[in-house]
DNA sequence: TGTAAATTACGCACTATTCTGTAACCACGC
DNA sequence: GCGTGGTTACAGAATAGTGCGTAATTTACA
């Protein structure tokens, strides 16, 4: 459960996307470039340590690109890579699945789809 | 961070699918009905406690249906519900995304798509 | 003019919480 | 006693949060 490299692509993908933060960060980054502090403001419940760790994980996975500008009060930009952008609609589809499923349970006939755009 | 019901459907979906086992179980169940012990054999690295917990989680989420036959040496069947079956192609798409992404890194021009059907 | 404070993006150490695994046990019918 | 599906009790591992420190520079203020 440590360095087991599975050959299963789904397992590999879930290794990166599992947890609360990865998909949320994808969600906030799909609008464009964000700075570290902006991402913290977007989501105040994540600690800075975890945010840094998660961003690094996404960077290692090739989903997010980190751009550090050397300068005075320090400044780092994050944005999605091409693979990262390709991931966005898939994650949106998962959200739509959830909405659809809840809809089946609570409502019934009248669809009240709120498919994330 | 305990019983916080988020309004974000993606977060809700990931709450169920996060971790190693949910997507794997979906994968094994997409072929049809399986018994508890079959799922253990399919995936020997999961402990039976965790398997029971994960199956219950998926059942609560409405993804898996549990059918207990009362009888001699006890027998329980698991299979996917309708929402569960709708989830399968989305998960396959995540796998395909991974394959594609790895392909971009190692290979380059010639696409070697293995989009799971 | 000197000093303190704020800013930004973290790293490190420590703690708290959560997850996962092991082992034992239950019920049942044979 | 065996095998089935499942639960509980406890232990260890993984994950998450808190708070302090750092770098360089600007601002706050007496």
- Domains and their CATH numbers in chain B: 9-106 (1.10.10.10)
Placement of tokens 């079959």 in the chain: B38
Q: Which residues contact B52 (CB under 8 A, 6 or more apart)?
A: B36
pLDDT of residue B68 exceeding 70, the answer is yes
What span, in angstroms and rounded, lies between the C-alpha atoms of B12 and A95?
Answer: 8
Q: Do A19 and B24 touch (CB under 8 A)?
A: no
Residues in contact with strand C, defined as Cβ under 7 Å from any of its atoms: A 1, 35-37, 48-49, 52-53, 55-56, 66, 68, 73-76; B 1-2, 19-21, 45-50, 53, 72-74
In A 74-103, which Cβ lie closer than 7 Å to strand D?
A: 74
Q: What's phi and psi for B94, nearest 5 deg?
A: -65, -40
Among A46-55, B73-82, B100-109, which is the least confidently predicted range?
Answer: B100-109
**In the block, which residue shows the tokens 């890579």?**
A81
B34 burial level (CB within 10 Å; 0-12, 13-18, 19+): buried
Tens-digit pLDDT string for chain A (117 aa): 333 456 789 999 999 999 999 999 999 999 899 999 999 988 889 999 999 999 999 999 999 999 998 776 788 999 999 999 999 999 999 999 999 998 776 654 444 434 433
**ipTM score:** 0.80
Q: Which nucleotides of D are covered by protein (CB under 7 A)?
A: 3-9, 13-20, 23-26
* Shortest-distance nucleotide from B47 CA to C1': C21
Query: What tokens appear for B93 in the block?
Result: 């798409």
């Amino acid at each position: 459960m440590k360095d087991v490299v599975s050959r299963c692509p789904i397992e590999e993908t879930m290794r990166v996307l599992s947890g609360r933060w990865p998909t949320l960060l994808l969600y906030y980054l799909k609008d464009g470039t964000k700075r570290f502090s902006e991402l913290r403001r977007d989501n105040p419940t994540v600690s800075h340590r975890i945010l840094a760790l998660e961003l690094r994980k996404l960077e290692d996975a090739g989903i997010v690109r980190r751009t550090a500008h050397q300068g005075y009060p320090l400044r780092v930009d994050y944005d999605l890579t091409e693979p990262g952008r390709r991931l966005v609609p898939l994650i949106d589809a998962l959200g739509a699945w959830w909405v659809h499923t809840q809809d089946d349970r609570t409502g019934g006939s009248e669809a009240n789809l709120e498919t994330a755009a």
